[in-house]
Amino acid sequence: MAIKLTNPITRLSNGWNIMGAFKRQADTRTAEELTESIKLWANQNPEVKAFLPHLKEMNQKHLGLVADTIELANHKALRYNDVNMLGKTSAGKSLLGVLLDIFPKASKENPNALDFAQEVINNTDAVTSKYFLWLTTGGVLHNKNVAEHFKAAKPLVEIFAKQTLNPPNPMTFDNQNNFMFLIKNVINESADVEKVKLVKDAFHAIDEKGYMYVNDFVLSKTPIGKIQDNLKSLPQVADMFKANNKLLNAGEFLEKNTNLY
């Protein structure tokens, strides 16, 4: 039986006032509930209404991203810095309108990119999510050359958020810029996808006992086999550094396995 909603079903409102790295609850809305919610949003916004004929082009697993994006656009943050997703851009549309143009094609041709975008929304505050969406309108969501990079980097979103967004800074976009800097390091055609896959393991191995220059690591020419071998001893070496009141450069160790201590 078809459902009949009077208001869109939202899921982000409980976290509007939270700043920094923030893990949201899983989206439990059905495809029908998401579709009806988007249609209700369309009654309030002509750009969403123009998007409705393209709903059928979307992979159903990305309907939640569409609904979340519309919800983000309709919320103004109670803080100094925010991203206005409803104001006109140089494209003649709002940021929301631009994204709604991008999503149907990306959903079919580059689904990993939209999966990644959803992961950002699921692990960051509203302003960071908006900031990410704003900076991805330049073509990266269409770029199939980094499809595998998006897939490999998805587990890093939560790690990067915790590394850069805490403590929150409500006055500037400095934290968001730092978050995006790390994201751009791994969503980069020149980055080695196999090394991107190992960044999560490296971060977990060193914990708070070391640091890592992600860009240098994913661009390095060290054979992946050598890095995998070095990764096995990384936790023990990090412990030795900590015992000597030092921090391990994990990337350099993985690339060279040099006796740094």
* SS3 letters across 69-129: HHHHHCCCCCCCCCCCCCCECCCCCEHHHHHHHHHHHHHHHCHHHHHHHHHHHHHECHHHH
Strongest mean pLDDT among 1-10, 63-72, 252-261: 63-72
Reported pTM: 0.94
Q: Which residue did the predictor score with more confidence, 65 or 18? A: 65
Angle between helices 111-123 and 63-73 (to 10 degrees): 50
Phi, psi of 124 (to 5 degrees): -135, 165
According to the model, what pLDDT value does residue 1 have? 47
- Whether the predicted pLDDT of 64 surpasses 50: yes
According to the model, what pLDDT value does residue 2 have? 73
Mean pLDDT for the stretch of residues 145-161: 98
CA distance 45 to 50: 9
CA distance 260 to 11: 48
- 187, 153 contact by CB (below 8 A): yes
pLDDT tens for each residue of 89-127:
998 999 999 999 999 999 999 999 999 999 999 999 999
Select from 225, 219, 212 the least CA-distant residue to 252: 212
- Whether the predicted pLDDT of 252 surpasses 60: yes
Mean pLDDT for the stretch of residues 212-227: 96
- Whether the predicted pLDDT of 259 surpasses 60: no
The encoded tokens of residue 5 equal 């909603």
The encoded tokens of residue 191 equal 């980055």
Per-chain mean pLDDT for the chain: 94
CA distance 205 to 238: 8
- The Cα angle at residue 175 between residues 71 and 69, in degrees rounded to 5: 15
- 144, 110 contact by CB (below 8 A): yes
% of the chain beyond a pLDDT of 70: 98
Mean pLDDT for the stretch of residues 202-226: 95
According to the model, what pLDDT value does residue 126 have? 94
CA distance 86 to 47: 10
Judged by DSSP in three states, 255 sits in helix
According to the model, what pLDDT value does residue 212 have? 96
